[in-house]
Structure 1
Amino acid sequence: MNQLKLIEWATGEFDNTAQSKEEPTWYVPLRLWHRLLPHRIQGKWAIFAEQANFLDLERPYRQRVWVLEPQPNGGLAVQYWAFKDPARFRGAGANPGLLEDALEPALDLLPGCWLDVQVVGDVFEATPREGDRCCFTYDSKLRQVVLGFEASETQFLSYDRGVDPETGQSLWGALMGPYRHQKRLAYPVITPAE
């Protein structure tokens, strides 16, 4: 699988302006940044992700890191990591210099937060592994998120949605289908340091 092509397509600056205008009840206007980390995590390439509501771009949220994991069968998987101190990296989407310190000691592995990546036509589709539950603690409460995305040359679809870990009821995110982000700016791919 072409890891470099996934990185080229998935990194950049995106927004869902058109979708939020067409369906304002279900989709808030978001800006989404995906930046290749300047350092590898456990020897693997990694992408920083962050988003912000267009009405409050100065307060981005949902900082996370995807570590790209080549698989023995030639496939690719994505393992999610969280920042131990997300506030320290807040705004790195717009200010990538903040990512110089985004090294493994600043991160926590999120067990169960895996996506398997497949190429379907000219799209990379990333779906949760069978039986996995992506859970983490936030504000002293157990949280669960169902992850997923599709990346093409010009668009990034996010299926991420928060669910109640006890009932499975959807709480936020892609409740009525994916967030459809159009790529507005491509970022150059620079080989990260070891």
Structure 2
Amino acid sequence: MSHATDIKTLARWMCSDFSNQEQAFENPPFYAHIRVCIRPLPLSNFPEPSLFLEQAYDYALNQPYRIRVLKLNIVEERIELENYKLKDKETFLGASREPEKLKKLTPNDIELMQGCDMFVDWTGTSFKGMVKPGRNCRIVRNGKETYLDNSFEINDHQLISLDRGYDPITNELVWGSVAGAFHFKPRQSFANEVEF
């Protein structure tokens, strides 16, 4: 059984190659086939528990449209995730599936995404994360600034995730799923790579 500050269990559940193939095949007009691949970063380079995430269309795994480093911290009896982007993402494209490339990543290669930290809470059976309130996580998509509303829920057999971008003035949906959350199942686990 887990608890509110169990970073290791959260990391072990997150470290997988996830796919929403079942959902995409059942409802292709609304859901593309997406892969989310998350691996732990080596403690030799990142002494704080940190994960590397790539999100890509299944047909273009080597061209991820989202690359992040997530640092896991315990703050006041709950887990918080700090979101970082890569300064030069081209250098590390595909690194979630190439551990040798991942070993070259250092804290000098990443930059904090202001306002994009997430609270992560234990539900009793899963971890639920959401962007901290305040509409401060700004993402530019197709030349338009939006604020990110991002949430996820994870347990040992699935990841449910919802990312949406809203207009900061009108609060209208600009990008993201109109049909609801993506449901991912792990294809391959990297839990055994978690050292912390």
TM-score (norm 2): 0.88
The one of 65, 70, 94 aligned to 2:74: 70
Residue 151 (structure 1) aligns with: 154
Preserved contact between residue 69 and residue 76 of structure 1 (Cα < 8 Å) = yes
Query: Structure 1 residues 24 and 127 mapped into 2: Cα distance closer, same or farther (>3 Å)?
Result: same
Residues 1:164 and 2:162 are matched in the alignment: no
Preserved contact between residue 62 and residue 93 of structure 2 (Cα < 8 Å) = no
**CA deviation after TM superposition for structure 1 residue 43, in Å:** 4.0
Cα RMSD (Å) of the superposition? Answer: 2.1
Measured in 2, the distance between the counterparts of 1:53 and 1:41 equals 29
> How do 1:13-162 and structure 2 match up within 5 A?
13-39=17-43, 43-71=47-75, 73-136=76-139, 142-162=145-165
Letter paired with 1:156:
L
Secondary structure in 2 aligned to 1:98? helix
Query: Structure 1 residues 24 and 137 mapped into 2: Cα distance closer, same or farther (>3 Å)?
Result: closer
The count of aligned residue pairs is: 191
1:76-113 per-residue CA deviation (whole Å, 9 max, x = no partner) reads 11110000111111111211221122211111111100
Query: Structure 1 residues 133 and 41 mapped into 2: Cα distance closer, same or farther (>3 Å)?
Result: farther
Preserved contact between residue 12 and residue 194 of structure 2 (Cα < 8 Å) = no
Point out where structure 2 has 5 or more consecutive residues left out of the alignment. none
Measured in 1, the distance between the counterparts of 2:8 and 2:123 equals 16
Identity of aligned residues (%): 28
Residue 178 (structure 2) aligns with: 175
Measured in 1, the distance between the counterparts of 2:27 and 2:151 equals 21
TM-score (norm 1): 0.88
Preserved contact between residue 145 and residue 163 of structure 1 (Cα < 8 Å) = yes
Preserved contact between residue 158 and residue 174 of structure 1 (Cα < 8 Å) = no
